[in-house]
Structure 1
Amino acid sequence: MSDTASQAELDAARLLLARMGISPADLIEAATKRPQAPTFADYVPIVSAAVSDGTRRAYGSYWKRVLQQWGQRRLNEPTPSEIEQLAEYVKTHVVARRNARGGRSAAEHLIAALRCLYRRAVADGHIAAADNPALKVAKPRRLPSTRRAVADTRLAEINAVAASTGDDPALDSLLLRLHTETACRRGGALALRPVDLDPEQCLILLREKGDTVRWQPVSPTLMRHLQSHAEERHVTGAGQLLRYRNGRPITYRRYDHLWVRVGEHLQWPVYVQQISTHWLRHTTLTWVERNFGYAVAREYAGHSGGGSDAGTTTTYVRASLHEVAVALAALTGEPHPLA
């Protein structure tokens, strides 16, 4: 068959269009006509209101930077080259910190924020999927993390400082114990509620990023202190569990103040190396993997829900909650009801 229409076919098409009262120009205009795309100033607030709190927290500052540069421009105006220029600008104007890595993370997050924005724009029909400029810009290659497990002696020093300084040592000690036992993320700790405690089985319900929900074993000692904390600070039901003495719920800022204070007392291990709460997660999971294997460490971390992984075999070797409880009992030196 011929790749082009014959003259007879063209004549037949023209005759059909003429009888329908449609001209070829009408077809071209209909194919190219699309409602005018909104400006970034109009559309960013819509997307910000539609995403989760975690996404808003991660991308909000980068959307503000986009508004500063392109607020009155329309979504279909920036080109991939302009996005690369903006990423380079953000990279070179990032706030310098001791753990800075040349602004690579800022450039990566800017592109991710724009991809999130444009995905919504495509779904809302403001631009065509083929015209998404953010997908045509590659993210900077992510460098390996500098986080690692904290040595036992250093961990003991950190706990000692937290328990003997500050305006609420009981709260800070509870935070460190919670993260060390469960390897949970900060978001999981902040989302914890009294109704998420199962004292009989020594389990807590963690709700973390990606809307994941999982039961995590804790020691009887930690369970008692979580219950005492809720009782002393008058928290019941579905309210946030972790609170200040005045009853106000803590935020991520409590973690920031905690590590700044610990760093003032432990200059080399904490201040210089920028140890943070996530290092406790590395510490616990490293110990679990070394002593109980990869499958148990994976389940302990809450990484059991899909995504990239070490291989297909992990589908068949998932650890059970009982095995996680056994690992926790060995870690804390306390018997656990499920172990």
Structure 2
Amino acid sequence: MTTDPDRVATARALLEHLGLTAADLTSNSPPTVPTVAEYLPTVVAAASQGTRRTYGSSWRRMAAALGDRRIDAVRASDIEALMRQATAGARSRRNSRHGRHAGEHLIAAARAFYNRVIADGHLIAADSPAHRISKPRRLPNTRRALTPDEMSDINAAARSGGNDIILDALLLRLHTETACRRGGALALRLIELDTHRALIRLSEKGGTQRWQPITPMLAGRLDDHARARGAVVPTDALLHYRNGRPATYRRYDLLWARIGRQLPWVAAQGITTHWLRHTTLTWVERRFGYGVARAYAGHTDRRGPATTTYVKADLHAVATALAALTGQPHPLATSALTEAIVRDASTESSFKRTDGDQT
């Protein structure tokens, strides 16, 4: 009998929709579909360290509530119920949004879980329960650029107490000069500090890496700090506690809690290290334009207008912006512009209002 090509194509499309192959129809035993708890180790093993840290708590919540369910038996309503629980049980923090971000985070984690399920061929995209739930609409960001007076007060508060003023001052200076994220700062190693050219190599989210200019003064302070606290081999961490252990995220929590006790407005507005990133990048964008600010931030995504493909800035442009921001020359800054920029840079720069030598 002659095979009808149209019927064959229809049959193949139906099998693909069902997530089956022709071999599945002739197999004596149906394929085994794992439960959520059984499949979770596969998801965790395939995830990056940053993804595991971000979604780990939500994945554990899924395993606790739905662990005995087959991954193809979880319903959209089950995921939505977990989202409601996460929202209602969110811990109140200085920058909390009444649990809204906790609910959004749960949906993102569930989608990441089912993205792996789909990639491994257990389900097709249309059957993912996590992708049938809409994320809560993200509220407008409350972060803003801090004023020079606010930056001066924060730096003064950081230097006025605490059990490790040197580390705290270095952290604030590092983040304000580079606009880097916390993970980028904590990942720094001795080998990633170039004191000769005043650069650090930042490794941040998405596996991105970039060389970022810092002032020669900060480069020297970081090198002295690392070696005085036990850094010897190139792979040793750059930032250390006084006991020689590498600094952790906990240091940031303690730092801002201490500053908030001295400056009530810091605690009331929920100001964190990421506000320093907003402050620096806003200053750079206002004076040097979008392209330089984008390079300064280390943004590499291609979303947005097609013009972003052409609006680019190199390391020398970033170094020139840093020289203007800090009022200190940089070896990679464009020499023709540096003197004029440093001389004429706005006195609104927060570095003109603080004593950098305190670090």
Output the CA distance in 1 between the equivalents of 2:151 and 2:184: 21
Output the CA distance in 2 between the equivalents of 1:44 and 1:9: 43
Output the CA distance in 1 between the equivalents of 2:295 and 2:35: 45
Q: Could you report, residue by residue, the CA deviation over 1:127-186 in whole angstroms, capped at 9, with x for unpaired residues?
A: 333322212222111111101111111111111111121111000000000000000000
Q: Could you report, residue by residue, the CA deviation over 1:85-119 in whole angstroms, capped at 9, with x for unpaired residues?
A: 22122222222334322322111111111111111
Q: Which residue of 2 aligns with 1:260?
A: 257
The letter of the residue matching 1:317 is V
How far the C-alpha of 1:27 sits from its partner, in A, is 6.8
Output the CA distance in 1 between the equivalents of 2:113 and 2:206: 18
Does the C-alpha gap of structure 1 residues 159 and 8 become closer, same or farther in structure 2, counting only changes over 3 Å?
closer
Superposition pairs of residues 169-180 of structure 1, within 5 angstroms: 169-180=165-176
Q: Which residue of 2 aligns with 1:326?
A: 320
Q: Which residue of 2 aligns with 1:55?
A: 51
Q: Which residue of 2 aligns with 1:239?
A: 236
Q: Which residue of 1 aligns with 2:332?
A: 338
Superposition pairs of residues 134-153 of structure 1, within 5 angstroms: 134-153=130-149
Deviating beyond 6 angstroms after TM superposition, the runs of 4 or more aligned structure 1 residues are 7-10, 26-29
Superposition pairs of residues 1-339 of structure 1, within 5 angstroms: 30=25, 35-236=31-232, 237-268=234-265, 270-303=266-299, 305-309=300-304, 311-339=305-333
Output the CA distance in 2 between the equivalents of 1:131 and 1:31: 24
Note if contact 1:242-1:250 (Cα within 8 Å) is conserved in structure 2.
yes
Output the CA distance in 1 between the equivalents of 2:78 and 2:30: 23
Percentage of identical aligned residues: 56
State the SS of the aligned residue for 1:216.
strand
State the SS of the aligned residue for 1:126.
coil
Note if contact 1:38-1:126 (Cα within 8 Å) is conserved in structure 2.
no
State the SS of the aligned residue for 1:140.
coil
Structure-2-length-normalised TM-score: 0.83
Q: Judge which range, 178-187 or 115-124, deviates more.
A: 115-124
Does the C-alpha gap of structure 1 residues 172 and 9 become closer, same or farther in structure 2, counting only changes over 3 Å?
closer
The letter of the residue matching 1:153 is D
Q: Judge which range, 167-176 or 72-81, deviates more.
A: 72-81
Note if contact 2:94-2:267 (Cα within 8 Å) is conserved in structure 1.
no
Q: Which residue of 1 aligns with 2:15?
A: none
Does the C-alpha gap of structure 1 residues 98 and 337 become closer, same or farther in structure 2, counting only changes over 3 Å?
closer
Does the C-alpha gap of structure 1 residues 254 and 302 become closer, same or farther in structure 2, counting only changes over 3 Å?
same
Output the CA distance in 1 between the equivalents of 2:121 and 2:270: 44
Output the CA distance in 1 between the equivalents of 2:126 and 2:245: 48
Output the CA distance in 2 between the equivalents of 1:178 and 1:112: 31
The letter of the residue matching 1:330 is A
Output the CA distance in 2 between the equivalents of 1:172 and 1:34: 60
State how many pairs are aligned.
Answer: 316
State the SS of the aligned residue for 1:164.
coil
Higher gyration radius (CA): 1
Q: Which residue of 2 aligns with 1:18?
A: none
Structure-1-length-normalised TM-score: 0.88
Output the CA distance in 2 between the equivalents of 1:185 and 1:115: 25
Q: Judge which range, 258-267 or 101-110, deviates more.
A: 101-110
Does the C-alpha gap of structure 1 residues 119 and 31 become closer, same or farther in structure 2, counting only changes over 3 Å?
farther
Note if contact 1:37-1:127 (Cα within 8 Å) is conserved in structure 2.
no
Note if contact 2:226-2:237 (Cα within 8 Å) is conserved in structure 1.
no
- List runs of 5+ in structure 1 lacking aligned partners: 1-6, 14-25
Note if contact 1:36-1:126 (Cα within 8 Å) is conserved in structure 2.
no
- List runs of 5+ in structure 2 lacking aligned partners: 8-20, 334-359
Q: Judge which range, 33-42 or 311-320, deviates more.
A: 33-42
